[in-house]
Amino acid sequence: ADRYAVFGNPIKHSKSPRIHAAFAEQTGEAVDYRAQLVELGTGVFEQQVEQFFAEGGKGLNITVPFKQNAWRMASWRSAAAERAGAVNTLYRNELGTLCGDNTDGVGLVCDLQNNNGISLKGARVLMLGAGGAVRGVLEPFLKAGAVEIVIANRTVAKAQELVELFSDLGQLSACGFEDIEARAFDVIVNGTSASLQGELPPLPDAIVGADSACYDMMYGAQPTPFCNWASQRGAAKVIDGLGMLIEQAAESFRIWRGVKPQTPELIAQIRAELS
Ligand code: ATR
């Protein structure tokens, strides 16, 4: 079987080996996918990536905290990766060039549109947060037809930086949580890591309307604080990030193997395993 792996730190709880094993079985592709802990320290990640490919490895997923390192290592980057400033998928092309892609944004767009029937065409979007997670999804959102994206962040200057980086692609603006305009958005995405601390940014109630779809990039066995908040305000759809996780994996698998796996059953299965 061809060898693949995910590199990160921590990595123990990664669901990627489970997900890719399911994709391999479903598609009949001979894929051996493992999780590998990479120690922190100058040059360690780079050395292990080199070694993995030198020993015949075919592709890597890269997770926290190495996505920027992977971006720097890649000699060729997809447009999405270039803009995201982060690479989560590495492989070598026929010439041996190390190529980097970023499938997080496509994963989120797929989960919204294909799995949850939420169209981004013409959508007015509110993005909460301005870190790497949000940066990775702006280009795919604008390419999927979002007509406006408001980026709200605790540190407004970081939201402003993203607006400047992506302003050539569409209508973007930045603000703090308290200054979000009191109007219903079509799609609200929580890309802050506040839920990791069980927290929720201070958000105006008026941003959720009866037709709003609310999406948390985080997920868990229990609804996240943001999902609970959105449900209580009567959002039309409330979705957590499990589907995004599985869709970004499916897109990496497609890049490596040329076959896009089916995802709905696997999402349901892994959902059931969470509790
Ligand atoms: P990631 O790669 O997951 O996006 P990150 O780049 O560290 O991680 O970004 C984390 C994001 O969550 C930032 O937008 C951060 O806000 P700041 O830019 O002001 O730091 C946001 N964040 C983290 N904890 C938060 C909290 N308790 N409340 C609100 N926002 C929070």
Complex-level ipTM? 0.97
* pLDDT per residue as tens digits for the range 165-218: 999 999 999 999 999 999 999 999 999 999 888 899 999 999 999 999 999 999
pLDDT interval class at 71 (50, 70, 90): very high
Every domain of the chain and the residues it spans: 2-102+243-274, 105-240
Q: Is 67 a catalytic residue?
A: yes
Q: State the average pLDDT for the chain.
A: 97
Q: Do domains 2-102+243-274 and 105-240 have the same CATH topology?
A: yes
Residue 74 identity (one-letter amino acid): A
Please tell me the distance between residue 200's alpha carbon and the centre of ligand 1 in angstroms: 11
Residue whose CA is closest, atom 29 of ligand 1? 201
Q: Which atom of ligand 1 is the closest one to the Cα of 192?
A: 12
Q: Over 90: is that where the pLDDT of 140 sits?
A: yes
The Å distance, Cα 148 to ligand 1 centre, comes to 22
C-alpha distances in angstroms, 150 versus 13, 57, 172? Answer: 33, 41, 6
Looking at residue 198, what is its pLDDT?
86
Encode pLDDT of 73-119 as tens digits.
999 999 999 999 999 999 999 999 999 999 999 999 999 999 999 99
Residue 12 pLDDT more than 90? yes
Ligand 1: residue whose CA is nearest its atom 27: 194
Ligand 1 centre and the CA of 127: distance in Å?
Answer: 12
- Cα of 194 to ligand 1 centre, how many Å? 6
From 134, 153, 192, 200, give the residue whose CB has the most ligand 1 atoms within 8 Å, as the site to mutate: 192
Mean pLDDT of 132-137: 95
Three-state SS letters, the chain: CEEEEEEECCCCCCCHHHHHHHHHHHHCCCEEEEEEECCCCCCHHHHHHHHHHHCCCCEEEECCCCHHHHHHHCCEECHHHHHHCCCCEEEECCCCCEEEECCHHHHHHHHHHHHCCCCCCCCEEEEECCCHHHHHHHHHHHHCCCCEEEEECCCHHHHHHHHHHHHHHCEEEEECHHHCCCCCCCEEEECCCHHHHCCCCCCCHHHCCCCCEEEECCCCCCCCHHHHHHHHCCCCEEECCHHHHHHHHHHHHHHHHCCCCCCHHHHHHHHHHHC
Residues with CB under 6 A from ligand 1: 129-133, 153-155, 158, 192-194, 197, 199, 201
pLDDT > 90: what percent of the chain? 98
The CATH H-level (homologous superfamily) assignment of domain 2-102+243-274 is: Leucine Dehydrogenase, chain A, domain 1 (3.40.50.10860)
Percent of the chain with pLDDT over 70: 100
Residue nearest to atom 16 of ligand 1 (CA): 154
Residue having the nearest C-alpha atom to atom 5 of ligand 1: 131
Give, using CA atoms, the residue closest to atom 3 of ligand 1: 133
Check pLDDT > 90 for residue 141.
yes
Residue 180's pLDDT is 97
Cα 134 to ligand 1 centroid, rounded to whole Å = 10
Q: Which of 15, 67, 158, 260 is catalytic?
A: 67
275 — pLDDT class (breaks 50, 70, 90)? confident
Q: Which CATH class is domain 105-240?
A: alpha beta
